[in-house]
Structure 1
Amino acid sequence: MRKCLPLAAALLLINGEAAWAQESDSPDFPVVLTASRMKQSQLRAPSAVTVIDRGMIEKSGARQIADLMRFVPGAVVGYNDGNWPVVSLRGMSGVYVSSLQVLIDGVSVYSPLWGGMQWSDLPLGLDDVERIEIIRGANAALFGPNAFSGVINIITREPGADCGSKIGGNLGQGGIADVAFSHGGASADWHYRLSAGQRASDGFTSRPDSQRLLYANLRAEYHINGNDSLQLTSRWDDVTKDVGDYRLRGNAMQPHTEQGHGADFQLRWTRAQSADNEFWVQYYHQRTQRWNHVNVDLRDTFSLPRVGPFANPLPYLIDIDFLTQRDGVEFQQTLRLNQGLRSVWGLESRRDGVVSTRLMGTGSERASILNRGFVGLEWQMNDQLALHTAAMLERNTLAKTAWSPKVALTYEPVAGHVLRASVSRAQRTPTLLEKYANYYFDVPGQGRIQYRLSSGAMNSESAISEEIGYALEYHPARVTLDMRWFRDRYRGLVGMENKDVVNQDEVRVQGGDLTARWEPRDGTRLRLAYSANRVHADDRGGSYSISVPASTLSAYWDQALTRTMDFSLNYQRVGAMFWLDSGQKKRSLPPIDYLNLRLANRMTLGPHRVVLAWVMQNALGSHSEYYLGIFGTPVTRATRISFIEFSVEF
């Protein structure tokens, strides 16, 4: 860093004649896809939607996708350790946020085993992402029972959108060593985009949590004719990470290395006659494998004296390996039935499978079969009033048949001012681990010690969500505003009772959030996101009453300093909260203030376009981070980190 900083400072101050034109994103609401599965302005969408666009992604100062969620009102981003980010909407969760549906290009990627997302293992670089659409609230009527608290749809860049090659990365403190390469092009009727890279860091100094992720992506599109196209997406990753805690010995959490790889494949045929008349059918396959071997000394496990018969080590191998696979076929058709009526409907059949001798108590595969169908209608009754309805029927072998309806009204009394109201029902299906968890250990001299954690009797969690919203698009002042009030009622939330997984807790959460964007002049963009929450819970099994922060606040400022230099600031404050499985004995973490700073310069060096930036993450200093402290591990402290960000296009 000492060698790089003088050069970086010099380059940041260069203002060549060959300057780039300053980008100026319109403050208008963009077109979104996730709210209703039909293209429409975010202003008139029947759900509260947050959009993280390409400009914000580039200037955020983030290294991975999870940190971009700090822009979302009500979102909480915590780190169990340096290679394990956790993303939740409003809290009410632990490490595995199984109530949040996460999609990549519309395909679900949450873990069939755990139910949550391993954000740090996503085989995507930030440059692979075009935008992210987040539904702030349940949308199970269109995306299934696991769209329980929200939907995050990561939309990748189109093939051929940026022809040519690009190399970039990050280098700095904490062992940060990221590199990414991409190339896009076209050949006859083919368009393609290929990317590959590495994301690596040493994590927190207090934990063994270094990580190195290698990934590669291919997205290609073949235009068969004017209406038909064939799209292919393939991804691969290989991960090596350190896990555990330095203070622990003799159990599965002592320091060790975890390895794994993953691959997914998606093939889609689309026939599009117009924006409102198209259908597509696709097949997708996902596979994830992890090797997690821990070599322990049983003398540490049972606190045995190191003398006499226990003078020599008593080695024992704990393996927590698993393999997950997901295969699915999906069909969707969008139709404009008449001038005021649009519809979308679809079918999906999916199979999830898990093999884990340690976690499931058997070497055989545990599987679930999902079959579902959905329909959505948008009726524009007049120029001001629109009715939106949707419903999904799903049969999953892990739970009872689920019926998830939604009704919404949008009313635009004056152009640019939209009121909306909605009510919906959602379920969260149990994960394969919740349904079939069966841990056991073969201990020498003691036989098999077995802990069956689930009788399989649990059923889906359920929720009723009510929402009133208001959206504003005011062109003269270059301002947009999106705000809502909501009330969510949850029943049958999962918890542990007598060493069994059961439905037990009831929780009510009500509150509001808002997002305001203002572009007072070209080169200046301001964005504010705020949420306030109040929770009532019976807390029979969990600690939900303190698991939701009373408020969150995020602010984003992007400022052009010269024709080639710009500065951005990204700040978030999360109120005190308790993570459900953090091992803190129902003691909330104090409020967290998180600040990213970024100073960048854009240059043209011959035929190449170059960006060089200095980034400081967590600029306000250290704070207590979320941790999985089930063995009494110490609180993890996140500290200030600086790095250099670079990219070269050629």
Structure 2
Amino acid sequence: MSYPCLSRFLQLLFVSSLSITSSVSYGYNETDLFSDIPEIVSATRISQNISEAPVSTTVITQELIQASSAVDLPELFKLVPGFQVYTPNANKYAVTYHGASGEFPRNLDIRINGRPVYIPLLSTVAWNTLGISIDDIQRIEVVRGSNVPSYGSNALMGAINIVTKTPIEQTSQQLTTTIGAQGRKDVTASYSGKANDLYYRVNLGHEGNKGFDFQKGGENVNLGNLHFVFTPSLYDSIDFTAGFNNGTMGIGGGNELREYQDRDHFSHFQYLQWNHVVNETHEINTQLFHNYLRLKTKSFNASELLNDPGLVNLNAQLAFLAATLGDNYPFSSSHVSDFPVLSSAENGSTQTYGAELQHTFTPTSSFTLASGLGFRYEKASSLALLGSDETIDEEIYFFFSNAEWKQTDHLSWNAGFMSELSSITSPATSIRLASNYKLGNSLILRGAITQAYRTPSLLEENNKSSYIFPEGVPFDYVSFPNDDLEAEKLNAAELGIFWTLPENKGFVDLKIFNERISNGIESWFYEGPIDLLSIKQGFRDEARELRNASNRKSHGFEIQASIKPSNKDLIHFAYSMTKISGIQRRGELARKSDRTYDDSAPRHTATLLLNHQFTNTLDSSVIFNYMSDVQWQDSSLIESYKTADFKITKSFPTSHRHKLTTSLLVKNLFDQKYSQFHTNNLYDRRLYLIMKLNF
């Protein structure tokens, strides 16, 4: 495994950091240095200061959320270096790390309060079905780098844990409305209360908009969730959350309106967590969860899609072929009848059940071990994606352990592994070894190596798609499953410098990374079995299956900085430089040539947030975003963008406990138009009014 070479810039930055650190007069103790650095648990399942985490981590705090220009949850990840956020449709978001993704990114593990929300039927996350709104979020922990040793194969490139507000934290009631561009009309309401040792919070919301002008890509959804916290003793805490999301959004792509249609969805979830402190050295955490999602789009008769009323022309052709070929006629019938056809693959239902037990052992102040086991049961049915209405399922068992050892006051070690055993794929074990070294009071060096595996998802193992008439005559074979599919393999290394700035209540974090993914799972095209489309075209139609057909590598560096020059100012900066290369082999057909990964990740991404508080009731933010050229998978568009957003917020205390907060948000302030993913996904200047009433 090779490490990326340090550019001259990085060498100068490293030397400068050392010289600055050595010349500083240390007037701070360790409490002063780290009091403003957030604690996380997502990297190792052990509570750590982010400066002690084995991999680079970003915490999107409540302060950053309020200062940002995000109106939808995924937009918050623009604040994270190396992350890209884009919209294949008006209301369908894609979030990825280090590029190499398309409409359905699949290499990030997304959790809400520790509950995984990865959808096995789609091999991704459907952000608009989660059942929470941006107002529900307290903070977000983002692990920038493979986190399979902690949370399993879906975290191949990174992990996100969204932590929502608890009824203990939110004591007031809140009503929020957002109106503005694209006909957006959102409203959410939350209510919190307490009964003896039981705290509760209830949230209901509605989100609606008309989408882009060209598309039929609007959204109209309802959501709700409730959160109970029960504390029967000082040693026990029981959390229960449940929620739903149902509604309609437009999906599609391309340059014609007829390619867009409505997709209905209904989702719900339940999550139970019990945390028990046995004594000073032992703590036990137990989790149970259930996720459900149903997707549905409109079906059309085959005759309508073929523009052949009654299938008169097609049946005449079949009769002619049968008479001409005689015994060599390849199909089971010379006559077919009409049947409904799903024109979109986003159809079907899926459920996930999970259980997990974790034991945290801290025998001394210098050593902590978090170990446990878990079980996940996934099932799905989809005629469009799995070839039948029958249910297909998978059982996944996993064992994990993460250890932190503070060998000295300056040197600490982290090690972890995750072993996964599946009923349909080969077992896989991922490992990570990392070390942190304090070089002086405010500078920490970090290094980590990881070997991780991503096992094929339920969809990838079972994907089968075709259009077959009721008489068994195939119109088009599209895809077939591959029984020989293997896990993707990642080898990654990173070096980091974490520099605390106590005088500015902040820090600067530099990461240098090198990643190599082999056995990447991608589509492989070949001449499929004979079908009606083949006869119509005059040559054997293509079919596809998933194979371990790609290899890619990337290297570069990332910088994140969060500082407060004064009590009234906040500066947040995120920058990433990524160079990616590799090849995706696409099969044996001349018209499906191999692809390179050279343009599949933006070379540069950057975000700068400047927030200033003029008074206790008035503040403003300016947010600059930049992403260089990139060509996403399944997209022909290559376009960079740079935007400037402006937000001003004014609070009006209406009584001793009541407060009205009004925000005016202008996105793309200078109207520098650009498109994302498809040409007609056009972004121009947008204006929003956000009002929150706390009472």
Using structure 1 for the length normalisation, give the TM-score: 0.89
Distance verdict in 2 for CA 1:477–1:166, change over 3 Å: closer
Give 2:391's aligned residue.
365
**Hey, what's the Cα distance between the residues in 2 that align with 1:229 and 1:359?**
41
1:295 aligns with 2:300: yes
Q: What percentage of residue pairs aligned between the two structures are identical?
A: 22
Matched, 1:112 2:123: no
Verify: 1:561 aligned to 2:566, yes or no: no
Partners of 1:118 and 1:447 lie apart in 2 by 35
User: How far apart in 2 are the matches of 1:256 and 1:100?
Assistant: 28
Does the residue aligned with 2:74 lie in a helix, a strand or coil? helix
Partner of 1:533: 578
| Alpha carbons of structure 1 residues 315 and 242: separation in structure 2 relative to 1, 3 Å | farther
1:279 equivalent among 269, 276, 284: 284
Is 2:261 the counterpart of 1:256?
Answer: yes
Pairing 1:545–2:598 present: yes
Matched to 2:288, the amino acid is Y
Query: Among 464, 472, 476, which residue is 2:503 paired with?
Result: 476
Aligned to 1:408: 434
Give the secondary structure class of the aligned counterpart of 2:233.
Answer: coil
CA distance in 1, matches of 2:309, 2:393: 44
1:43 aligns with 2:42: no
Give per-residue Cα distances to partners, 1:346-384, cap 9 Å, x unaligned. 111000111112221122111111100000111111100
1:307, 1:285 → 2: CA distance? 45
Letter in 2 for 1:487: N
Kindly report structure 1 stretches of 4+ aligned residues shifted beyond 6 Å. Answer: 305-310
Q: Deviations over 1:452-506 (max 9, x none)?
A: 3322321111100101001011212434111110100110111222211100111
1:618 aligns with 2:672: no
Alpha-carbon distance between aligned partners in 2 of 1:111 and 1:526, rounded to the nearest angstrom = 36
Q: 1:82 to 1:282 in 2, by over 3 A?
A: same
Distance 2:189 2:275 in 1: 29
1:577-609 C-alpha deviation (Å, 9 max, x unpaired) = 110122x1xxx5121113321111001113420
Change (3 A) 1:334 1:119: same
Cα drift, residue 294 of structure 1: 3.2
| Selected match of 1:223 from 224, 228, 231 | 231
Compare the two structures and name the one with the higher helix fraction.
Answer: 2
The aligned residue for residue 10 of structure 1 is none
| Pair 294,406 (structure 1): closer, same or farther in 2 beyond 3 Å | same
- Deviation, 1:416, is 2.0
Q: Distance in 2 between matches of 1:402 and 1:157?
A: 35
The answer on whether the counterparts of 2:303 and 2:311 sit within 8 Å (CA) in structure 1 is no
Tell me by how many angstroms 1:625 deviates: 3.3
Which residue number in structure 2 is paired with residue 4 of structure 1? none
Provide the rounded CA distance (Å) in 2 between the counterparts of 1:514 and 1:27.
21
For 1:512 and 1:589, how far apart are their aligned partners in 2? 23
Q: Which has the higher contact order (CA 8 A, sep 6+)?
A: 1
Structure 1 Cα separation of the partners of residues 503 and 236 of structure 2: 41
Indicate conservation of the 8 Å contact 1:80/1:625, yes or no: no
What SS does structure 2 have at the residue aligned with 1:414? coil
Q: Which moved more, 1:76-85 or 1:535-544?
A: 535-544
Contact kept? 1:569, 1:598, Cα under 8 Å: yes
Q: Which runs of 5+ in 2 are unaligned?
A: 1-33, 315-336, 527-543, 587-594
Judge which range, 436-445 or 419-428, deviates more. 436-445
Q: Does 1:353 align with 2:379?
A: yes
Q: 1:259 to 1:486 in 2, by over 3 A?
A: same
Q: Given the superposition, is the C-alpha separation of residues 480 and 626 from structure 1 closer, same or farther in structure 2, using an over 3 Å criterion?
A: same
Count of residue correspondences: 609
Cα 1:428/1:622, change in 2 over 3 Å: farther
CA deviation map 1:271-329 (0-9, x unaligned): 02578642111211110011112336735x4466999979xxx9863235300000011
Pairing of 1:7-86 with structure 2 (within 5 A)? 28-86=36-94
CA distance in 2: counterparts of 1:245 and 1:347, whole angstroms: 42
One of 644, 654, 660 as aligned partner of 1:595: 644
Q: Which moved further from structure 2: 289-298 or 169-178?
A: 289-298
Instruction: Tell me if 1:326 matches 2:352.
Output: yes
Change (3 A) 1:308 1:90: closer
423-432 vs 271-280, greater mean Cα deviation? 271-280
Radius of gyration: which is bigger? 2
SS at 2:598's partner residue?
helix
Give the AA of the match of 1:647. Answer: K
Q: Secondary structure at the match of 2:155?
A: coil
In the TM superposition, 1:89-108 aligns within 5 A as 89-108=97-116
The residue number in structure 2 matching 1:488 is 515
- Cα 1:445–1:265 change in 2 (3 A) is closer
RMSD: 2.3
Other structure's SS at 1:636 match: strand
Distance 2:638 2:293 in 1: 33
Q: Is the 8 A contact 1:260 1:290 kept in 2?
A: yes
TM-score (normalizing by structure 2): 0.84
1:280·1:332 contact (CA, 8 Å) conserved in 2? yes
| Aligned CA distance change for structure 1 residues 342 and 576 (closer, same or farther; 3 Å) | same
